[in-house]
Structures are given as C-alpha cells and as structure tokens.
Amino acid sequence: MVRRRLILELLRRADERDGSTSRVFIDPAPTHFELAASISTHREAVSREMSVLAKGGLIERCGRRLLLCDLTALELLAGDEEEQVFSRREKS
C-alpha cells in the first residue's frame, strides 16, 4: 500500500510531461519526510520504498532533482499493487 501511495504522489508532483518521453523530473526533489507526511506514513517506509524503486531503475537522484525514469512502469506498478490487494481480499 505504501508503494502505491508513494508512486502516485511522485507522479502527481512530476513536472509537466511533454508526451514524447517517459522520463520526467521533480525539481526540487522532495525529502523523504515530506513524502511521508503527504501519504500518511513514516519516513522509514518511504526510504525503503524509494530504495526499491531506485534499485529497480525506476527513479534516480540527480543532484537536487529526482528523475522518474519510466512513467509507464511506475503507473503499472501502482496499478498492479492495487490489483494484488484486491485479489488477496477475494481469496480470504
């Protein structure tokens, strides 16, 4: 759930997309504390999820900016997590 909320918040904060690229910057990059406050979670949870996204090549820190490397993949990941939650509920 935290990952989905984090991704949606990052996409919301992203600069205007020009349609020709799947990469976009957030300038300046929000702190983990700011993101945590925005999505009602702890800074530690945001740090963990940001690390997972960075290791997956989906985000990258560039100085004081944050690069969202693949918007399509991020949108799919946010949607896939929602589907996983619903499928778990149905199995219960």
Domains by residue range for the chain, with CATH: 2-91 (1.10.10.10)
What pLDDT is recorded for position 49?
96
The pLDDT confidence band at residue 86, using thresholds 50, 70 and 90, is very low
Q: Can you tell me the distance from the alpha carbon of 73 to that of 45, in angstroms, rounded to the nearest whole number? A: 21
**β-pairing, 59-62 with 24-26?**
unpaired
Q: Can you tell me the distance from the alpha carbon of 61 to that of 76, in angstroms, rounded to the nearest whole number? A: 21
User: Which candidate, 76, 47, 46, 70, places its Cα nearest to that of 57?
Assistant: 70
pTM of the prediction?
0.80
